[in-house]
Structure 1
């Protein structure tokens, strides 16, 4: 089950990251921003917008699959790991600056996920499942 979580959350992060980076690329390619038919044609003429759709659809189905098995607290926190991946890719692809506030924010995200995962594993260790009671009897 641990492998399922690791692979599942990596896939979720990849889909979410694809969606965010694709939206950025599509938005940059569709400039200048205006509400017109020409602008809509520019947006939907970009392959990046379809990457964003694939990313969001893939993230949705991955998230739904994970929620069948994962505890909600750590799962919700871990679903925000894409913030870190998007930050790193934005630095690399778009030359966006990363300062101490962003680094501290990333550390807080990771620390929060770890705290929730540890607290959740402690709670599940303390709870005995009904089927475990039947086996013991």
Structure 2
């Protein structure tokens, strides 16, 4: 069951990252922001927006599947791992700055995921014990 969680959370991170990076590329290519027909044509005429839709759709179905089986605490924490991948890809793809606060924040996210995961039984035992 641990492989299922590992594969699931990596898949979720990939889909979430794909969505965020695709939205950024779509926004860059749709400049300038002018809420008119020409802007909508620029947005939907560029393939990056469809990458964002695919990313969010994949993330939704992956998340729903994970929630069915994974304990909520670690699942919620691990669902935020895309913040790390998006930050690192943004440094590489968009020349954004990797600051000390981003590094510390990323380490705190990792620490939180580890703490929550260690506190839960992720061996595949049923979470439902008959109590409400």
- Normalised to the residue count of structure 1, the TM-score between the two structures is 0.88
- Normalised to the residue count of structure 2, the TM-score between the two structures is 0.92
SS in 1 for 2:33: coil
Instruction: Identify unmatched segments of 5+ residues in structure 2.
Output: none
Structure with the higher fraction of residues in helix conformation: 1
Deviation at 1:109, TM superposition (A): 0.2
Q: Deviations over 1:7-29 (max 9, x none)?
A: 00000000000000000000000
Q: Deviations over 1:104-135 (max 9, x none)?
A: 0000000001111111139x99x9x69xxxxx
SS in 1 for 2:97: coil
Residue 85 of structure 2 is matched in structure 1 by 85
SS in 1 for 2:17: helix
Q: Distance in 1 between matches of 2:38 and 2:107?
A: 43
Instruction: Identify unmatched segments of 5+ residues in structure 1.
Output: 131-137
Q: Where does structure 1 differ by over 6 angstroms across 4 or more consecutive aligned residues?
A: none
Would you say how many aligned residue pairs link Structure 1 and Structure 2? 127
Deviation at 1:65, TM superposition (A): 0.5
Deviation at 1:69, TM superposition (A): 0.6
Q: Deviations over 1:34-93 (max 9, x none)?
A: 110000000000100000000000000000010111000000000000000000000011
Residue 103 of structure 1 is matched in structure 2 by 103
Higher relative contact order (CA 8 A, sep 6+): 2
State which structure, 1 or 2, has the greater radius of gyration over its C-alpha atoms: 1
